């Protein structure tokens, strides 16, 4: 039996590891909020002594350092050497190396679209048999994650090629607890209640929302997230999927209705700080600042889990600002859908070590070790949520665990000229006066021109 988690490499890595709040992260083997039992069982069953496992992905800097710690535990359990290389140009690099026959064993894809393209070209290897069943049973909203990692191979047959690991959460509404308390507002748990609260804030002489679509050359993308969330709250997941592939035309009534759901909030001068005409010109990084004004310039801001990076310096999430789940309609019976993004592992150069890495990623500890370092969310239902480094991350993780459906950001899955082009500009046109029908027809016309 190997001595577990005792290598010099782990000791060196742990000496420099840190939680988000700056305290040293002492991941002592056998201690802490980690599932050591399954880790030890994996170590006893897996011997890769003398083998090297190569991994590449988009994580660099601090993120790469956190992932290195996770990989150190894999290395110590198996006896393998792990080499991870992160790149800011990962998307280009992995295609070049794969076509040249020099790909690493595994690649970490930040978007399913590229993984699907590579699978169709025969550049990915299906994950081991039984992986799809395991994901369906062990991830919250498990079938959603199976669907997102399943692609047609070179032979046209569908198979599971990707296992998701780190997840980003978009279905959030940020608010000021102090402002809510002062006005006596309750956290809405349904979309009906959210709309009632919006009207109540206006009736009280205040402004409910801060919304900004500005983002330089990418202006308009925040509105695409709104529409995607509204698609998931007004239509079944199958309709969302058909929209992403254009099997459901962009100008279909279901899509027009989702755009108008966004317009309910964004195209009403009484509902938005600065009025509806300010929505397109306000930079998304500046738009949440109204939450912190005295008196508040707005009471709510819908944005993803990354937005605290643009809050005023010294802001404490959970005290100065907090969040709640962007709720679903009570009367539509669509469960608790969640919109987000995430990274998935795929095998780009098969080996015994590559398959062992997929088995390792099934372990709760493969997630818990990064959870404890901060900046990480997971849909793995078997993790100990006490491992999260912050209460806010724990609460966001719970939203993922409570989700009945998870869907990836639609614009990231659409062709670039649509998801990062016509959709963005169309939403700017919409908030500045064009009708939803006009915008949707324009995007569909552009999509048809690609064929």
State mean pLDDT over 11-18.
Answer: 42
pLDDT score recorded for residue 218: 95
Say if CB 20 and CB 49 are below 8 A apart. no
State mean pLDDT over 89-117.
Answer: 96
pLDDT score recorded for residue 171: 98
pLDDT score recorded for residue 299: 98
Under the phi-then-psi rule, with left for phi > 0, alpha for psi from -120 to 50, and beta for the rest, what region is 69? alpha
Predicted confidence (pLDDT) at residue 347 exceeds the cutoff of 90: yes
Predicted confidence (pLDDT) at residue 19 exceeds the cutoff of 50: no
225-251 pLDDT per residue, tens: 999 999 999 999 999 999 999 999 999
What the block records as the tokens of 379 is 């849909």
Predicted confidence (pLDDT) at residue 322 exceeds the cutoff of 50: yes
What the block records as the tokens of 106 is 């595994």
- CA distances to 86, 306, 327, 408, 424 from 234, rounded to whole Å, are 39, 25, 12, 16, 21
Predicted confidence (pLDDT) at residue 105 exceeds the cutoff of 70: yes
| Rg of the Cα atoms in the chain | 23
Domains of the chain in sequence order: 8-169+339-408 (3.40.190.10), 172-337+412-449 (3.40.190.10)
pLDDT score recorded for residue 451: 81
- 292, with CB counted inside 10 A (0-12, 13-18, 19+), is middle
Pick the range with the lowest mean pLDDT from 11-20, 116-125, 258-267, 367-376: 11-20
CA dist., res. 172 & res. 303, Å (int)? 6
State mean pLDDT over 239-264.
Answer: 98
pLDDT score recorded for residue 20: 35
Query: Coil, strand, or helix at residue 73?
Result: helix
Pick the range with the lowest mean pLDDT from 10-14, 143-147, 180-184, 390-394: 10-14
DSSP result, 206-218: ---B----B-GGG
Could you tell me the pLDDT band of residue 23, with boundaries at 50, 70 and 90?
Answer: very low
362-373 pLDDT per residue, tens: 999 999 999 999
CA dist., res. 118 & res. 114, Å (int)? 6
pLDDT score recorded for residue 248: 98
CA dist., res. 71 & res. 56, Å (int)? 12
280-306 pLDDT per residue, tens: 999 999 999 999 999 999 999 999 999
């Amino acid at each position: 039996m190997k001595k577990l988690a005792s290598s010099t490499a782990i000791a060196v890595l742990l000496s420099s590891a840190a939680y988000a709040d700056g305290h040293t992260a002492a991941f002592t083997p056998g201690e802490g909020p980690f599932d050591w039992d399954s880790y030890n069982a994996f170590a006893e069953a897996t011997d890769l002594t003398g083998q090297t496992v190569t991994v590449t992905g988009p994580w660099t800097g601090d993120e790469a350092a956190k992932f290195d710690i996770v990989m150190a535990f894999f290395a110590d359990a198996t006896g393998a050497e792990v080499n991870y290389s992160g790149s800011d140009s990962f998307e280009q690099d992995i295609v070049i190396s794969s076509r040249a026959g020099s790909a690493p064993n595994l690649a970490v894809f930040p978007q399913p679209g590229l993984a699907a393209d590579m699978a169709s070209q025969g550049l990915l290897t299906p994950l081991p048999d039984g992986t799809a069943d395991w994901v369906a049973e062990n991830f919250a909203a498990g079938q959603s994650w199976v669907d997102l990692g399943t692609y047609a191979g070179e032979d046209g047959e569908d198979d599971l090629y990707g296992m998701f690991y780190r997840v980003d959460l978009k279905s959030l509404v940020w608010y000021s607890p102090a402002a809510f308390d002062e006005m006596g507002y309750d956290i809405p748990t349904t979309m009906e209640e959210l709309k009632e609260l919006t009207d109540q804030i206006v009736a009280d002489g205040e402004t409910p929302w801060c919304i900004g679509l500005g983002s330089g050359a990418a202006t308009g993308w925040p509105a695409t997230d709104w529409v995607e969330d509204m698609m998931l709250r007004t239509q079944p997941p199958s309709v969302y999927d058909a929209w992403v592939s254009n099997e459901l035309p962009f100008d279909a009534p279901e899509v027009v209705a989702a755009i108008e759901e966004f317009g309910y909030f964004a195209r009403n001068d009484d509902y938005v700080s600065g009025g509806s005409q300010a929505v397109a010109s306000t930079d998304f990084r500046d738009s949440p600042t109204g939450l912190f004004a005295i008196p508040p310039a707005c009471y709510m801001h819908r944005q993803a889990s990354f937005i605290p990076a643009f809050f005023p310096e010294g802001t404490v999430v959970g005290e100065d600002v907090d969040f709640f789940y962007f709720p679903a309609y009570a009367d539509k019976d669509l469960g608790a859908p969640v919109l987000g993004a995430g990274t998935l592992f795929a095998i780009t150069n098969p080996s015994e070590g590559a398959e062992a890495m997929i088995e390792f990623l099934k372990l709760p500890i493969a997630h818990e070790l990064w959870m404890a370092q901060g900046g990480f969310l997971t849909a793995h239902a078997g993790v100990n949520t006490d491992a999260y480094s912050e209460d806010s991350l724990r609460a966001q993780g719970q939203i993922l665990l409570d989700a009945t459906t998870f869907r990836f950001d639609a614009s990231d899955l659409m062709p670039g000229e649509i998801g990062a082009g016509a959709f963005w500009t169309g939403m700017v046109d919409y908030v500045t006066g064009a009708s939803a029908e006009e915008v949707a027809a324009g995007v569909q016309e552009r999509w048809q021109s690609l064929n």
